[in-house]
Amino acid sequence: MGAAYFYHLTTQPLERVLPMLLGKAREAGWCIEVRGVEATRMEALDAALWLGPEEGFLPHGLAGGDHDADQPILLTTGQGAANAPTCVMSVDGAEVSPEEVQAMARVCVIFDGHDGAAVQVARDQWKGLTSSGCAAQYWSQENGRWEKKAEAGG
């Protein structure tokens, strides 16, 4: 049974935080789906990951390619990634279900703390997932480092 981890971005943008979270997930041996809502945004994240430091390269692909099933990290705009993920990272308010949280090793909901609409979507996701019995943790980077601010049982 998995858990949902909510990451409230306040000091760094998604493009800086995502590689760190993906690296930790890969260290755990997980296949990851990075799920967004707009194709152009996923293309921009794909390009940013390709431009990352050589020593920290994260093998990944953008959904729709010939080798989606082989990608350790697959960037998508929908559920049901071809790489059979054990971790889903939701960005820009992409939906995740309680059933996914229960089935995955981890679900990460990453949201921009400077965007009121994104904060509200994350609050609604927290309420929906925890009221369905999912375990959840809320992490904030208020002081420049990650701190766990809340936890709900599962």
Interval 49-99: pLDDT, tens: 988 766 678 999 999 988 999 999 999 998 778 999 999 999 999 999 999
pLDDT given for residue 54 in this prediction: 66
The three state secondary structure string of 36-74 is: CCCHHHHHHHHHHHHCCCHHHCCCCEECCCCCHHHCCEE
DSSP for residue 92: T
Number of structural domains in the chain: 1
Interval 105-149: pLDDT, tens: 999 999 999 999 999 999 999 999 999 999 999 999 877 789 999
Interval 7-66: pLDDT, tens: 999 999 999 899 999 999 999 999 999 999 999 999 999 999 988 766 678 999 999 988
What are the residues facing 89 on neighbouring strands?
Answer: 34, 108
pLDDT given for residue 127 in this prediction: 97
Read off the CATH number of the domain in which 17 is found: 3.40.50.10110
Q: Which domain holds residue 94?
A: 3-152
